[in-house]
Chain A
Amino acid sequence: KNEVEQSPQNLTAQEGEFITINCSYSVGISALHWLQQHPGGGIVSLFMLSSGKKKHGRLIATINIQEKHSSLHITASHPRDSAVYICAVRRGNKLVFGAGTILRVKS
C-alpha cells in the first residue's frame, strides 16, 4: 500500500460543477501539500497545511489530522482547472507524493 493514496485517479466534470479530490496517508506528517501540474510539466504549489482549512479563490483545502485525510475542493469548476492535482505529505525534510488525480473539466 502506498503511503499516500489519492482518489479518484481520473475525474471528468462539467463546467460549473463542485469537485472534490481526496488524499489519505498512513504515516505521521508535519504538513500536507496540494500541487497542480498542467500539461507541459510545470508544477505549482497550491496549499501547504498542517491543520484546519485554507481557501484561495475557488480552491479550498481541508485536513483532518486524526483521520489522516485531506480534501481539495474546486467550486464553480472551469476548463482551465483541467490539470493533474497532486497530494504530498512532509516527513522530516522529505516529501512523499501521491500518484496524482487527472482532472478534466468540459465546457
Chain B
Amino acid sequence: DVKVTQSSRYLVKRTGEKVFLECVQDMDHENMFWYRQDPGLGLRLIYFSYDVKMKEKGDIPEGYSVSREKKERFSLILESASTNQTSMYLCASSLSGSPLHFGNGTRLTVT
C-alpha cells in the first residue's frame, strides 16, 4: 500500500514565521503535489513536481515555494506566514496517469 506521510497533523505558527511542511512517499512516484483546501473552494493546487529538482507552479503559488531534492520528499515552504495562509494542506503523489494518493493533511493556523 502506498503511504504518503505529512510530518504534522496540526501546526500553529505566528505571522511572519518561516514554515516548512514536509511530505514523504514510499512508492517511488515521480509526481508529487501540494494542495490547500478551504471551505467552499475545494482543493486548489499550489505547486507540483514531476521529477527530482523539478517544480511547476499550480493555480495559487503566491507566498509559497517548494523543494524536491530527493524523489520521495516534497517540501512546501511558507517564506513569511500570513493569516490568509491558515488552511488545510494536503500532499499527494502518483505515477503518471494513475490515481493520486493523499497524505492525511496538515491543518495550519497562522495567528
Write out the residue numbers on chain B whose beta carbons fall within 8 Å of the beta carbon of A94.
Answer: 45, 48, 58
Q: How far does the alpha carbon of A86 sit from the alpha carbon of B50 in the complex, in Å?
A: 23
Contact present for B100 and A33 (CB under 8 Å): yes
Q: Which stretch in A39-47, A64-72, A73-81 binds the other chain?
A: A39-47
Q: Which stretch in A12-20, A55-63, A96-104 binds the other chain?
A: A96-104
Range of interface residues on B (Cβ < 8 Å): 20 to 34
Q: How far does the alpha carbon of A45 sit from the alpha carbon of B92 in the complex, in Å?
A: 11
Closest B residue to A40 by beta carbon equals B104
A98 to chain B, nearest CB (A): 6
Contact present for B99 and A45 (CB under 8 Å): yes
Contact of A41 (CB < 8 Å), options: B44, B96, B101, B104: B104
Known contacts A41-B107, A99-B40; decide if A93 and B48 are in contact (CB<8 Å). yes
Write out the residue numbers on chain A whose beta carbons fall within 8 Å of the beta carbon of B50.
Answer: 93
B44 to chain A, nearest CB (A): 8
Contact present for B41 and A99 (CB under 8 Å): yes
Q: How far does the alpha carbon of A33 sit from the alpha carbon of B102 in the complex, in Å?
A: 13
Within 8 A of A (CB), among B52-73: 58
Contact present for B104 and A44 (CB under 8 Å): no
A54 to chain B, nearest CB (A): 12
Q: How far does the alpha carbon of A87 sit from the alpha carbon of B34 in the complex, in Å?
A: 18
Apart from A31-B97, A42-B103, A93-B31, what 16 extra A-B contacts exist at CB < 8 Å? A33-B100, A40-B104, A41-B104, A41-B105, A41-B107, A43-B92, A43-B102, A45-B102, A48-B98, A86-B42, A95-B43, A95-B45, A95-B100, A97-B43, A97-B44, A100-B42
